[in-house]
Amino acid sequence: MSEQTINRLRRIEGQVRGIATMIEQERYCIDVLHQLSAVKAALRRVEAEVLKNHAETCVEEAVRSGDHDAQREKIAELVDLFEKQRR
């Protein structure tokens, strides 16, 4: 995983701590909700980056290998992931 991904996750971690502080301080609900939306968007960006990395490494490796079982396994993993996201 890239250093950029780790840095993003650390920023998200700080944002989540900030949200907890906002709630402890009984800040205005809409302000808290705005921060929660920002965290969700940041997590979606990290998720996309991890997925892209997986496709460029693990999936690509399975395709290049010519191993049909490995290819089916990687495709099944992606299908399962997308099905879980729709729930």
Overall pTM > 0.85: no
The predicted pLDDT at position 87 comes to 82
**Spatial distance between the Cα atoms of 27 and 11, rounded to a whole number of angstroms:** 21
pLDDT at 1 over 80: no
What is the number of other CB atoms lying within 10 angstroms of the CB of residue 62?
A: 19
- The stretch 17-41 carries a mean pLDDT of 98
Q: Supply the range of the domain harboring residue 80.
A: 3-86
Average pLDDT over residues 55-70: 93
Report whether 1 contacts 50 (CB < 8 A): yes
Domain count, the chain: 1
For residue 4, name the pLDDT band (cuts at 50, 70, 90): very high
> What is the average pLDDT score of the chain?
95
- Please answer whether residues 42 and 12 qualify as being in contact, where contact means their C-beta atoms are separated by less than 8 angstroms: yes
CATH code at 42?
Answer: 1.20.58.1000
Whole-angstrom distance, CA of residue 34 vs CA of residue 42: 12
pLDDT (0 to 100) of residue 86: 85
Task: State the Cα–Cα distance between residues 24 and 6, nearest whole angstrom.
Answer: 27
